[in-house]
A and B are shown apart, each in its own frame.
Chain A
Amino acid sequence: MTEIEKVTEATRDPLVVLDSVNKHFGDLHVLKDINLTVNRGEVVVVIGPSGSGKSTLCRTINRLETIDSGSIYIDGKELPSEGKALANLRADVGMVFQSFNLFAHKTILDNVTLGLIKVRKTPVSVAQAKARVLLERVGVANQAAKLPAQLSGGQQQRVAIARALAMEPKVMLFDEPTSALDPEMINEVLDVMIALAKGGMTMIVVTHEMGFARKAGDRVVFMADGQIVEEATPEDFFTNPRSERAKDFLAKILEH
């Protein structure tokens, strides 16, 4: 099967659809007519130079950033604009931030159970049992009683992944999850993400980790100046980039 056929075959089950999405920050046109479909079970890696709009793109999908025009659909439903409907939708979309954003006043265990208890109305004991399983899965079960500030960056980010997974999301968004980490901690987070990808989770990952894109990505989306310049399989993109922008970008990051 050629790469193109593989992509078209996968388009049969769209989970996240962005249709002609535009967004401005004042005069700056950060997202220019973005069309993107992510299928169930697919791992899409968004890369591009800084300021290309890739983080903004990621944040529009659970409406942490509003959009000026166009539409975004998740599992066939258009994003609600405000209120309870939006909160309910966000519960189904996991998000992992660059700066972890664990709740600083709550223990690791409480960080993971908060959404279950307050949004899903899960009984406390059930939520805690579930949280412990997830913390075990990301390798920080022995830290459950600590506060976030007592953990290393890599541990915090793994807890943040567990917190998002607790809600059993349909899709996970990763907004530069390893950019704030010390080099020796990047792999422990990437390993968790790779395991997640192999487990069939639908993922949209904004990252500079080309190794992750090669290992776990189904598709690479290359953005520059607010536009999607190129979409290809990781193998294709890294060995044979078509656009000048992509060639230029790859030359810069692969130099070292």
Chain B
Amino acid sequence: MDAVISELPKFLSGFQMTLILAVTSGVLSLILGIILAAMRVAPFSSLRGFATIYVETVRNTPLTLVFVFFVFVLPTLGIILPLGKVPAIIALTVYTSAFICEAVRSGINSVGIGQAEAARAIGLRTSQTLSLVIIPQAVRTVIPPIINVLIALTKNTSVAAGFTVVELTSTGRRLSLNHPDQVIPILLGVAAFYLLITIPAGLIAGAVERKVVFAR
């Protein structure tokens, strides 16, 4: 236990990096994922095709390979990103947005086709049908799976430890090497810091869900 307390500053800086990775990639992949989902239900086959290929390629690739691509492969193609958190955020965003896209798309599909037909029948345009009728109803169904994805993202940030980013997992590994007699408390400390992100995320999700609840 002493090591956890004496090394708290290192834990905190690792935690800070994990938080930066999770929040930045989370926000970016929400934006990208919603755009992709809109493309997947768009009335243009070119947009649908592009989004489908993107999602199927990315979500079927191991995250580590996505990291390898952005950290090692891109530079050999002449695209050099600064080492550290930038390629990590890009890799996490690219990967997570595919899952967000599918969660949002399933939410859109969960709203009955009759709702869209009724909206179109009173003369609403496609964009109004989506924003006034479909999305407000999809939000409720979409929140639980999106929180799942974001919790997975928080834990996936640990992959960055293998690519020169000093975040929680990386910090834990270094500290265990320095304090070989206290590996278990250190790892428990690491786990507790992850919970510090994921548990509030779940609570916020529950609150939002209750707020948008309505009877069907």
Contacts and interface: CB of A to CB of B under 8 A. Distances in A.
A90 B129 CA distance: 13
A167 B115 CA distance: 17
Interface in B170-216: 214-216
B216 to A, nearest CB: 5
Nearest to B214: A105
A104 B116 CA distance: 11
Interface in B97-155: 112, 114-115, 117-125, 128, 132-133, 136-137
Contact of B215 (A90, A101, A147): A147
Given A104-B214, A118-B132, A167 B122 contact: yes
A87 B124 contact: yes
Interface in A86-133: 87-95, 97, 99, 101-105, 114-115, 118-119
- By size class, the interface of chain A is 20 to 34
Nearest to B116: A101
B150 to A, nearest CB: 24
Contact of A91 (B112, B122, B132, B137): B122
Contacts of A84: 125
Nearest to A160: B118
A163 B122 contact: yes
A149 B213 CA distance: 13
Contact of A105 (B114, B121, B137): B137
Contacts of B115: 101, 103-104
Contact of B122 (A99, A105, A119, A149): A119
B123 A147 contact: no
Nearest to A146: B215
A114 B136 CA distance: 14
Given A64-B117, A118-B132, A87 B216 contact: no
A150 interface: yes
A119 B125 CA distance: 9
A62 interface: yes
Contacts of A221: none
Given A103-B133, A104-B137, A104-B216, A88 B123 contact: yes
A114 B125 CA distance: 13
Nearest to A90: B123
A44 interface: no
A119 B124 contact: yes
Given A103-B115, A103-B133, A105-B137, A114 B121 contact: no
A57 interface: no
Contacts of B124: 87, 114-115, 118-119
B135 to A, nearest CB: 10
A122 to B, nearest CB: 12
Contacts of B123: 87-92, 115, 119, 167
Interface string A154-193: 0000001001100100000000000000000000000000
Listed residue (B114, B123, B128) with the most chain A CB atoms within 10 angstroms of its CB = B123
A10 to B, nearest CB: 26
Contacts of B112: 101
A90 B120 contact: yes
Contacts of A99: 114
Contact of B118 (A83, A91, A103): A103
Contacts of B119: 103
A114 B122 contact: yes
Listed residue (B119, B122, B137, B216) with the most chain A CB atoms within 10 angstroms of its CB = B122
Contacts of A147: 214-215
A95 B132 contact: no
21 contacts: A64-B121, A87-B120, A87-B123, A90-B122, A94-B121, A97-B118, A101-B114, A101-B115, A104-B214, A104-B215, A105-B133, A105-B137, A114-B122, A114-B124, A114-B132, A115-B124, A118-B124, A118-B128, A147-B214, A150-B215, A164-B121
Interface of A: 62, 64, 83-84, 87-95, 97, 99, 101-105, 114-115, 118-119, 147, 149-150, 160, 163-164, 167
The 6 closest A-B pairs by CB, nearest first: A91-B123, A115-B122, A101-B118, A101-B114, A95-B121, A149-B215
Given A93-B121, A114-B132, 17 more contacts: A64-B117, A89-B123, A90-B120, A90-B122, A92-B123, A95-B121, A97-B114, A97-B121, A101-B118, A104-B115, A104-B216, A105-B136, A105-B214, A114-B124, A118-B124, A119-B122, A160-B118
